Structure 1
Amino acid sequence: MDDGGGVSWYEGEESPLRVVCGGPAEHWTDALPIGNGRLGAMVWGGIASELIQLNEDTLWTGMPGNYTDPDAPKALSDVRGLVDDGRFAEATTAASNLLGKPSEVYQLLGDLKLDFDHGHLSYARDSYSRELDLSTATVTVSYSVDDVRFTREHFCSHPHQVIVSKLSASKPGSLSFTVALTSQLLHQSHVRDEKQIVMEGSCPSERLPPPTSKLEDGPRGIRFCSILDLEISEDNGIISVVDGNKLKVDGSSWAILRLVASSSFDGPFTKPADSGKDPVAESLTTLRTVKNVSYSELYLRHLKDFQTLFGRVSFRLWNSDFGARTDDASRITADRVKSFQQDEDPSLVALLFQFGRYLLISSSRPGTRVANLQGIWNKDLRPKWDSTPHMNINLEMNYWPALPCNLAECQEPLFDFISSLSLNGKNTAEVNYRAKGWVAHHKTDIWAKSSPVQGDVVWAFWPMGGAWLCTHLWEHYTYTLDKDFLKMKAYPLLEGCAHFLLDWLIKGPDGYLETNPSTSPEHEFIAPDGKLAAVSYSTTMDMELIRGVFYAVSAAAEILGKSETDLVKSVRKAQTRTRPTKIAWDGSIMEWALDFDDPEVHHRHLSHLFGLFPGHTITLEDTPDLCKAAEKSLYKRGEEGPGWSMMWKAALWAHLENSEHAYRMVKRLFNLVDPDHEVEFHGGLYSNLFAAHPPFQIDANFGFTAAISEMLVQSTGEDLYLLSALPRDKWPSGVVKGLRARGGVTVNISWREGLLLGVDMWSDGETSIVKLHYGGTHSGVQIVSGECHAFDGDLRLIKKTSLMH
């Protein structure tokens, strides 16, 4: 223990980070997730049988489409005319002519089923355990039958691209089971070489295909293959074939299952019928690389790879002074969630924080598809909301924790996806809107759909999806200071987005540049004639997003020496003519350009508060009046809502430095959701810690992790704010290590009895000047690259240490 500064006052071992289950899963949201970014599995942990539901991130319905509509320009002109005339309800109806076809749907891979020959079960519940260890990314199931202890270990290896399961029995020769692969998709399976099961199939070529019984019937969509390889102990055990497509093991001591999977998906612009990829050949190739790799080597490589990412951040909380710890990793996690409203166990907060990081690593890795509405985990042919990326909050929230929580690489699939969207979006912009650049709307899919989808105008028409995604490009640079990324990846996409926005803006009667038509995501208003409407002009979120993109273009151009181009000059000129954020008659932030009446003040979206977070135009220092109005808006919205909405509110309150209300939103998420009695828009957690909309949406898990990081550390590139929204009475003592701040800075913080003890900071990029803020104390410091700077609780520099040591 060291009270003289720095973060070393407690250097004990990290508490076990485990999601502990009381019995086998009864619902999908009781099962435990594993994944490597591309492959995913949900482990149910049964006794007489085991179900492992499988996913592969490229399995989607459909094929590339035409995302243009030559009739859209006429419809756009009509809608703009109605908006100009103040006929907002009619404009909303007319805007349906701007909508297009539905998006495609994320599919499942299939099920790995194990049936055990346990005979008479003298199963005692006390002997059963099932848990996910976040630090090893491993699910372990263990139980006793009579005098035999059975154990199953499951992990999903990124280095070897294989799902691995080890089954073992404490008594030699006691392990007997049958294994099969099956799928709800059109498929066939057979046994190969008497110890491998090969399953081949295809996704529907249409969104809702007619039922068929053979692979040859109807046009194929994306084809897939999964191969399960079975290895058993050499000294005992027999493998036999059952029904031509199952394997049966009798009398073995242990078994190792290696499952690989591939698809014919060859990018968002290649039709499945034109793909040259052979999923069977690719699966066999992958299997050959892992078949002779021992279980221990597979596990060690998996562990090293995973912990390289996961181990960058550690986080511990106590609700009283050191020594009065309440964390109990052996307790059933669902029971801990149930009791949180009474005991407010801070160690459960730390667990859910790290669970969000675990899910991001498991569902988004360089080279994989972008994390969708459920990450990569899905059990349905027709999942809720198609399990697609939604770009009016959900996809963006998925990646909120990537940068501050030290997982920048996990954001790479998002940038690859934006690149694909920009290509389709260029055609959509040109044909639908007669505009340069590129555009993307509210809902997309693996084919990078850029046009509006079919649906209700209130949510389906929203041409700002690309703009919001582009803010992530600039944020990536501000955290990493990677100029190559800025030059080669970010800036060309920002340029294209800015070109569209400049053409989309039209001069209004009062001199502002306006967006018309314009919606505030998924929210209606009451027009002056008393009718419900969704379409008007220049919603607050439109303007905030446009300002965010224009700022990024201008700032990036300065760094890259492009500040005198015609585009940048046009952007800077337009910046001064965008409609500013205004305060409504009741003191809240105006959501629309006109002060319409709101028919649903408790609406789940916080779109008009984008400037506070994740934007940067509303700050306590520069715009105190707008901050006061944002606070009023948050009070109006209330505290209830789906999980993602509550987590956005937590981050917003954090940026108002209101720790009490930020914590209230954090606490509200700890509500155990019953899958059999879900209430729409009442968020919470399932027993496996998946977050609920309900049903399950992964964005709230990621939003929770991001919100906690914002409560602890906020940054601008020049300023770094420490513990500005820390609920000191709830988390009086804690240590967090490895959080990232803008400017390429890594931060470790410790506090005790609600007071800052010390801070360690270092930069892995350029030497920079940072102004530290804590309470009323401010300290300017030069952070020298290659050195760790340690400060005490009064922000006094106490020592420097070379990172080489």
Structure 2
Amino acid sequence: MKKFSLLIALFSGITFVSLATEPANSSPSKKLKLWYNKPAQYFEEALVLGNGRIGATVYGGTDTDKIHLNDITLWSGEPMDPNMNPQAYKHLPAVREALKNENYKLADSLVRKLQGKFSESYAPLGDLYIDFKSSSVKNYYRELDLEKAIASVKYDAGNQTISKEYFVSYPDKILVIHLKSSQAKGLNFSVRFGSKLKYKSKSTINHLHFQGVAPVRADPNYVRKKGNPIIFKENQGTRFSADVLLQSTDGQVARTDSTVSLSNATEATILVSLATSFNGFDKNPQSQGLNDDAIAQEQLQVASRKTVVEMRARHIQDYQQYFKRVSLHLGGEQAPELPTDDRLRRYAKGEKDPYLETLYFQFGRYLLISSSRTLGVPANLQGLWNPHIQPPWSSNYTMNINAEENYWLAENTNLSEMHAPFLSFIENLEKTGKITAKTFYDAPGWTVHHNSDIWAMTNPVGDFGNGSPSWANWYMGGAWAATHLWEHYSFTKDDKFLKEKAYPLMKGAAEFCLAMLIPDKNGNLITSPSTSPENRFITPTGYQGETAYGGAADLAMIRELFQDLIEADKILKQDASFSQKLQDALKKLYPYQVGKKGNLQEWYFDWEDVEPTHRHQSHLFGLFPGTHLTVENTPALTNAAKRTLEIKGDETTGWSKGWRINLWARLKDGNHAYKMYRELLKYVEPDGVKIEYRRGGGTYPNLFDAHPPFQIDGNFGGAAAVAEMLVQSDMHQIYLLPAISDDWKVEGEVKGLKARGGFEIDMAWKNGQVVKLYIKGVPGGKTTLIVNGTSKEIQIAKGKKVRIL
């Protein structure tokens, strides 16, 4: 197994099954790249690089080249106190009594007593600037090569050509910037650093060293309170170090305390090493923190002994072992060769562009590899790339969809290792979540609410009573997150992971859910209180409420988790009594209801929504990402889910659109899924040139998802949906081309997609029919294949790849 997988297995107990497959070829069409004919002016035009911990956002300027620097472990705050509201549970009976009496206004008021602090914020480490002596520029070209994870810039300046190359190496833990002039001694530039955080600097001959600290508190950008929202305190907060080394075989180096410059050089390399003192969610980053200064310097020293050619080769080899597992080629009329932003503009007018559709899919995979390789620290709302000291929604882990949506593509697009940061984060949540369950609900097990952060915060948010219950008091985050543990098992069939990691965590989440279920007046089990994420209802009296009981979203997530655990125990055969308890509870759960409009009811009663087109569709969880509602087995309920989507419409935010594409794919409606995929790629101008935000989401010039503003979950959800349109599966069946659109039917080829049961799919199709098919049984086993309208049982030995068609 590759080095990264071994490290994950060693440190987290998560093991992965070796793929041992020949690398999939890249797209038969042309190189997968984003490219532009001008430098970036705004963040949403810049190119992003990352090794799962260090992030670089490259603008590619000719006078000044700005590069945002991030470290995924640099956040405001310190380890949380999960006992922040120890008497909160005493208010739960009053909330339930108000709901029993149908007094929803009182319940909305009382439930605010079950709130705690807001999450902390992901922090920007700083900015690197490379200042060049100005000259006229022609023939500018900037690109991001997705197949190598390398950004490059090239332009003519006067009588010379300047070339710049950037990559962030996982093996060498370093950002590498290589500069070259076509004319001898043609490079003249200086390097400086800036940060929105507190820092100090020093220099030696060709080395800059910066040390700083993150705030001990950074309020969310949507909170308006008196005083400074950003608080620094002496000897508190996470430290960071940034080391910059300038290497050149010719030219003259000069320095100040905060800059280093090079003149009359032909070639140069800038190495940037970053480190923080973060040492775990429960360790004080000051008194128990890592030695960020020593780590940054050691990383720099080790890398500086290698040539750029060596580091580049190591970087490419490491990256491609993941990226090249999957290739996709969509046939049909190809668009002219245009800069990526112009391709998006052309596509928005209704033109066809299969290459752009493939590029977006592979860009999602690129982003996950680049932002999710740090155990216990998953990709956040902006993945890894954030220039703001108060980022949108704190760039935190929003557990009512967004954090989970980041990982929908991990398993089916063959990036199981990148799932590990989120799966190991669940282990952290379980530890603080036990205290949250006890202090807020007097319940066993563990849970997490609307928001979390690097410190594994699990409490209801809202600033102790100031938050809207529709989001602040939603407590099903543990149930939702825990389904990812079974999802990982479903694709890998890793029995060791299931027994040692997944089952205990899933059971703890289920124990909390069992405790939160109470009988309604008819003896059905319901949750009370209950909210449906960020949505509100209208009672027959006209009250617009947030807190109710027996919400369909709660019960859908509980159903999925309970069914997963029951299946897990059939494999492990070690917890029969608990499995029986879950089966008994499932029989008593308040069933799904179909409303008068033919829709799947979101609330216990057939109430109207305050906002019928609301972006959340949490009560459709059982259809996707859950698996217990299917066109084949529950047609009446899936028809009701379809009607719900029709009522909501297609116009929604970026991440929500990504979710709805997956839902339409599960409904086997490829044309509707494709329609919305096209809408997800709607061109959106950078935030800095917008007059105002327009609802509906879309895609920025650099292919970032426009929520708006930027949230990476739309990228991940959209990429996952492409795979869902081509391959769907459960533990017993694999459906090929279940939701392929008319536009994609003509011809195409995909290699390396994964199916549940641990199978890997290579196939080609023409006119909507699979004409070539190879299936590999990674762990091996039986499944039923549904292809070209027929079903076929197959059995594939472990590690064997078999041609079916």
1:420 to 428, 449, 454: 428
In 2, Cα distance between equivalents of 1:13 and 1:467: 42
1:514 to 526, 530, 537: 526
In the TM superposition, what is the alpha-carbon distance from 1:58 to its structure 2 partner?
0.9
In 1, Cα distance between equivalents of 2:136 and 2:76: 45
Cα offsets for 1:555-587 (capped at 9, x unmatched): 1122112132x4323222212111111111110
In 2, Cα distance between equivalents of 1:609 and 1:435: 27
2:776 is the counterpart of 1:762: yes
Local SS of the residue matching 1:371: coil
**Which structure 1 residue ranges, 5 or more long, are not aligned?**
1-6, 320-324, 793-805
Cα offsets for 1:597-635 (capped at 9, x unmatched): 122111101111111111112111111111111111110
In the TM superposition, what is the alpha-carbon distance from 1:201 to its structure 2 partner?
0.2
In the TM superposition, what is the alpha-carbon distance from 1:207 to its structure 2 partner?
2.4
Tell me which stretches of 4 or more aligned residues in structure 1 moved more than 6 Å: 7-12, 209-215
2:288 is the counterpart of 1:275: yes
2:116 to 87, 100, 104: 100
Percent sequence identity over aligned pairs: 38
Equivalent residue letter for 2:91: A
Match of 1:729 in 2: 743
Alignment of 1:31-180 (within 5 A): 31-68=46-83, 69-118=85-134, 121-124=135-138, 127-180=139-192
In 2, Cα distance between equivalents of 1:548 and 1:277: 40
Equivalent residue letter for 1:61: S
Equivalent residue letter for 1:347: Y
Cα separation, partners in 2 of 1:279 and 1:782, compared to 1, 3 Å:
same
In the TM superposition, what is the alpha-carbon distance from 1:731 to its structure 2 partner?
4.7
**Which structure 2 residue ranges, 5 or more long, are not aligned?**
1-21, 220-225
In the TM superposition, what is the alpha-carbon distance from 1:266 to its structure 2 partner?
1.1
Match of 1:263 in 2: 276
Alignment of 1:246-395 (within 5 A): 246-319=259-332, 325-326=333-334, 330-340=337-347, 341-367=349-375, 369-395=377-403
Match of 2:630 in 1: 619
1:742 to 750, 756, 769: 756
2:621 to 588, 610, 619: 610
Cα separation, partners in 2 of 1:390 and 1:448, compared to 1, 3 Å:
same
Match of 1:795 in 2: none
In 2, Cα distance between equivalents of 1:474 and 1:239: 56
In the TM superposition, what is the alpha-carbon distance from 1:212 to its structure 2 partner?
13
Match of 1:452 in 2: 460
1:464 to 443, 457, 476: 476
Equivalent residue letter for 1:264: S
On the 8 A contact 1:356/1:702 being kept in 2, the answer is yes
2:728 to 704, 711, 714: 714
Match of 2:15 in 1: none
In the TM superposition, what is the alpha-carbon distance from 1:476 to its structure 2 partner?
0.4
Match of 2:800 in 1: 787
On the 8 A contact 1:457/1:534 being kept in 2, the answer is yes
On the 8 A contact 2:24/2:752 being kept in 1, the answer is no
In 2, Cα distance between equivalents of 1:510 and 1:765: 46
On the 8 A contact 2:141/2:153 being kept in 1, the answer is yes
Local SS of the residue matching 1:178: strand
In the TM superposition, what is the alpha-carbon distance from 1:123 to its structure 2 partner?
1.7
Cα separation, partners in 2 of 1:11 and 1:186, compared to 1, 3 Å:
closer
In 2, Cα distance between equivalents of 1:511 and 1:219: 56
In the TM superposition, what is the alpha-carbon distance from 1:14 to its structure 2 partner?
5.0
Match of 2:17 in 1: none
Cα offsets for 1:511-552 (capped at 9, x unmatched): 111110000110000012211001111111101111111112
In 2, Cα distance between equivalents of 1:779 and 1:758: 15
In 1, Cα distance between equivalents of 2:586 and 2:743: 43
Match of 2:6 in 1: none
In the TM superposition, what is the alpha-carbon distance from 1:210 to its structure 2 partner?
7.6
Alignment of 1:352-751 (within 5 A): 352-367=360-375, 369-454=377-462, 455-564=467-576, 566-674=577-685, 675=687, 676-677=689-690, 678-751=692-765
Cα separation, partners in 2 of 1:471 and 1:10, compared to 1, 3 Å:
closer
In 2, Cα distance between equivalents of 1:569 and 1:655: 30
1:227 to 243, 246, 260: 243
On the 8 A contact 1:225/1:283 being kept in 2, the answer is yes
Alignment of 1:230-249 (within 5 A): 230-233=246-249, 236-242=250-256, 244-249=257-262
In the TM superposition, what is the alpha-carbon distance from 1:367 to its structure 2 partner?
2.8
Cα separation, partners in 2 of 1:11 and 1:111, compared to 1, 3 Å:
closer
In 2, Cα distance between equivalents of 1:237 and 1:213: 42
In 1, Cα distance between equivalents of 2:28 and 2:352: 22
Equivalent residue letter for 1:593: Y
In the TM superposition, what is the alpha-carbon distance from 1:273 to its structure 2 partner?
2.9
In the TM superposition, what is the alpha-carbon distance from 1:19 to its structure 2 partner?
0.6
Cα separation, partners in 2 of 1:190 and 1:580, compared to 1, 3 Å:
same
On the 8 A contact 2:53/2:374 being kept in 1, the answer is no
In 2, Cα distance between equivalents of 1:550 and 1:253: 64
Cα separation, partners in 2 of 1:312 and 1:104, compared to 1, 3 Å:
same
Equivalent residue letter for 2:406: N
Local SS of the residue matching 2:609: coil
Cα separation, partners in 2 of 1:314 and 1:726, compared to 1, 3 Å:
same
Local SS of the residue matching 1:662: helix
In 2, Cα distance between equivalents of 1:579 and 1:205: 45
Cα offsets for 1:716-773 (capped at 9, x unmatched): 121110111111334521100000000110001111233321211011103x222111
In 1, Cα distance between equivalents of 2:275 and 2:627: 42
In 2, Cα distance between equivalents of 1:397 and 1:188: 38
In 2, Cα distance between equivalents of 1:594 and 1:284: 62
In the TM superposition, what is the alpha-carbon distance from 1:296 to its structure 2 partner?
0.5
In the TM superposition, what is the alpha-carbon distance from 1:433 to its structure 2 partner?
0.9
On the 8 A contact 1:346/1:731 being kept in 2, the answer is no
TM-score (normalizing by structure 2): 0.93
How many residues were matched structurally? Answer: 769
In 1, Cα distance between equivalents of 2:493 and 2:183: 57
TM-score (normalizing by structure 1): 0.93
Cα separation, partners in 2 of 1:537 and 1:14, compared to 1, 3 Å:
same
In 1, Cα distance between equivalents of 2:803 and 2:342: 40
In 2, Cα distance between equivalents of 1:456 and 1:681: 22
On the 8 A contact 1:182/1:189 being kept in 2, the answer is no
In the TM superposition, what is the alpha-carbon distance from 1:509 to its structure 2 partner?
1.7
Local SS of the residue matching 1:726: coil
Cα separation, partners in 2 of 1:650 and 1:377, compared to 1, 3 Å:
same
In 2, Cα distance between equivalents of 1:684 and 1:442: 24
In 2, Cα distance between equivalents of 1:386 and 1:668: 27
Local SS of the residue matching 1:402: helix
Local SS of the residue matching 2:410: coil
Local SS of the residue matching 1:729: helix
On the 8 A contact 2:217/2:231 being kept in 1, the answer is no
Local SS of the residue matching 1:226: strand
In 1, Cα distance between equivalents of 2:663 and 2:229: 50
On the 8 A contact 2:375/2:425 being kept in 1, the answer is no
In the TM superposition, what is the alpha-carbon distance from 1:277 to its structure 2 partner?
1.6
Match of 1:3 in 2: none
Match of 2:223 in 1: none
In the TM superposition, what is the alpha-carbon distance from 1:36 to its structure 2 partner?
0.4
